[in-house]
Structure 1
Amino acid sequence: MLKTLVKDPELAGFRDDGPSVPTENSDLSQFFDARERWPECMSIPQINDISECKSSWAFAAAESMSDRLCINSGGTINTILSAQELLSCCTGVLSCGEGCGGGNAFKAWQYWGKHGLPTGGSYESQFGCKPYSIAPCGKTVGNVTYPACTNTTLPTPSCEKKCTSKNGYPVDIDKDRHYGASVDQLPNRQIEIQSDVMLNGPIETTFEVYDDFLQYTTGIYVHLTGNKQGHLSVRILGWGMYEGVPYWLLANSWGKEWGENGTFRALRGTNECGLEANCVSGMPKLG
């Protein structure tokens, strides 16, 4: 569930009309949590479960896009965009990568601008037009107990050109799409990352995962030991300080049972495992 392709070398340093952010930190709070800043946005507190598919790149992208769509529309477009669409349909010239084998976060945001994303929530919710088609494994959700995990990567779902929710959906998929207006590869500068999140909402980042991260339960993560296992994409929700130690607040996609109710904290200001060097954001197209 770890592999995410980091920046395409051809796209390194590419900036496409991203948001303008302050260059001084006088207005930045010591603590910031997007869930508290924009409580009206249904997508921000959502924690998903990618199951046995390396689709964190698609979820972190779709989640951040959903957050920003709500925030920048003043809460008038309050929905959840489809990670399933990115996972299964981002192919061809703008290929995001290998689907359930891992993908490219930057190209996922480019896809949003060119093709748009329909709505779509988790497998359990069957929300929207095109929800996630891969069931959780090894846990019970509500009254449903899912089969044990097999520890194998599942095949990438096929790209459907129609809405697939088991609950039915009354809108044609192409009329359900929301589009991005810009994409931005943020520089490895804490101030710009914080400013973008505070002004426009959560962003996606990709970092290196080591053995010790797999043992994380709570606290501020700092890599100390173990071998590299791959890459993981997550959302930056905010930041804070704990006993003098600065941290990022991040949302994972391994279910609410993992970490701190699906989130984790990691050391801030040192580019821990590449967290600050691989941030991608963008703005939604409104109207």
Structure 2
Amino acid sequence: MKLFALLFAVVVTAESLTVKDHWEKFKTDFDKKYQNIAEETRRFRIFQDKFQEIEEHNARYTAGLETYYKGITRFSDLTKEETQGFFKKIHDDTTNWVPKTFETPANVPDQVDWREKAAVFPASDEGNCGASYAFSVTGALEGQNYLVNNISVKLSDQQLVDCDHNNANCQGGNQSNSYNYIMQAGGLNSFDDYPFRKHPGDCRVVSKKYAAMKYTATVGATEEQLRNALAEIGPISVSIYGDWVLDYAGGIYTGSCVNLVQYLDLSALLVGYGVENGTKYWLLRGSFGRKWGEKGYFRLLKDANMCGVALRASYPVLEPVKKTR
């Protein structure tokens, strides 16, 4: 991972590529189109500033002064004001959540990665639809459906966007409303039956549903409990303070962050933990596509409640599927 990061930094700062070269590649990679020359000129100026920030940060990373590195992402032509629309304060109603306590096992695993046990699907891309809540919740539901029912099926994030009217479709939402909808609906359609469109639309549920829920369980707000729960039951839906993620490209994030529950504004799926070069980390799946971060994933410093990762953790408890002979 460190070697990859160093190679990335070399590519970003290579003299053979100018900022203009990177700009042209950026437009191609992310299919960027602008209304007119004036608009493109304005976007290029924003991109230039971001590019310089990336170069300066990655130079510090290469020198061993940072634990994570930055990169050009599809957000690199947007101002801070424009990207604030991706982050909405998350106000979960946990009244009906059932608290669960997880004892520390005698032999705590040194690392956990639920991707290795086929309990996690690759990262999706929410586009300009602010629906990280949907991807976080469906991820937890998919994991439990596989681990409890031995059913591996990607579920419909779009169904939550279109049909759960207690959330604000592409303008944000939360875990509690999403889980309540799933319980009332008797499960979710598959992604194949109800694919993601990156914008809200009419609710069009089909009859075949998966992963009927009994209730929502919540994990105690400590990282020890979070670790124990993750190791025992599988991927967990979490919320974090996340407006730093837009130019994240890899490594273990240890930068500026807020770890207070009232500032949580981005949902993600916690899928593992581990250690790299003596630094412990949490492994999470984002919803910005596989070209972002570490193939759609990111890592946070562990044992520091980084960005409030332990403050709002939950998972669905399912109705087991009846076995047929």
Same fold at TM > 0.5: yes
Q: What amino acid does structure 2 have at the position aligned with 1:237? A: V
CA shift at 1:87, angstroms? Answer: 1.0
Matched, 1:284 2:318: yes
State how many pairs are aligned: 234
CA shift at 1:177, angstroms? Answer: 4.1
Q: TM-score, normalised by structure 1?
A: 0.74
SS in 2 for 1:61: helix
Matched, 1:112 2:182: yes
Matched, 1:69 2:69: no
Larger relative helix fraction: 2
The separation in 2 between residues aligned to 1:103 and 1:180, in whole angstroms, is: 19
CA 193–230 in structure 1, closer or farther in 2 if over 3 Å, else same: closer
Partner of 2:113: 33
CA shift at 1:214, angstroms? Answer: 2.0
The separation in 2 between residues aligned to 1:283 and 1:120, in whole angstroms, is: 18
- What's the C-alpha RMSD, in Å, of the aligned pairs? 2.4
Partner of 2:94: 11
Partner of 1:204: 237
SS in 2 for 1:178: coil
Q: What amino acid does structure 2 have at the position aligned with 1:248? A: W
Partner of 2:44: none
Partner of 1:59: 135
Structure 1 runs, 4 residues or longer, greater than 4 Å off: none
1:81–1:118 Cα contact (<8 Å) kept:
yes
The separation in 2 between residues aligned to 1:251 and 1:178, in whole angstroms, is: 20
The separation in 1 between residues aligned to 2:222 and 2:264, in whole angstroms, is: 23
The separation in 1 between residues aligned to 2:317 and 2:264, in whole angstroms, is: 28
Bigger Rg, which one: 2
CA shift at 1:6, angstroms? Answer: 1.9
SS in 1 for 2:249: coil
Q: TM-score, normalised by structure 2?
A: 0.66
The separation in 1 between residues aligned to 2:236 and 2:127, in whole angstroms, is: 22
Gaps of 5+ in 1: 122-126, 135-153, 162-172
The separation in 1 between residues aligned to 2:180 and 2:229, in whole angstroms, is: 18
Matched, 1:188 2:221: yes
1:223–1:273 Cα contact (<8 Å) kept:
no
SS in 2 for 1:209: coil
% identical equivalent positions: 23
The separation in 1 between residues aligned to 2:164 and 2:89, in whole angstroms, is: 14
Gaps of 5+ in 2: 1-84
Q: What amino acid does structure 1 have at the position aligned with 2:133? A: W
Partner of 2:162: 88
State how 1:133-282 maps to structure 2 within 5 Å: 133-134=197-198, 156-161=200-205, 173-210=206-243, 212-224=244-256, 231-282=265-316
CA shift at 1:63, angstroms? Answer: 1.6
Higher relative contact order (CA 8 A, sep 6+): 1
Q: What amino acid does structure 2 have at the position aligned with 1:224? A: S
Deviation readout 1:39-73 (Å, 9 max, x if unpaired): 3x4xx132101011001100111121011101111
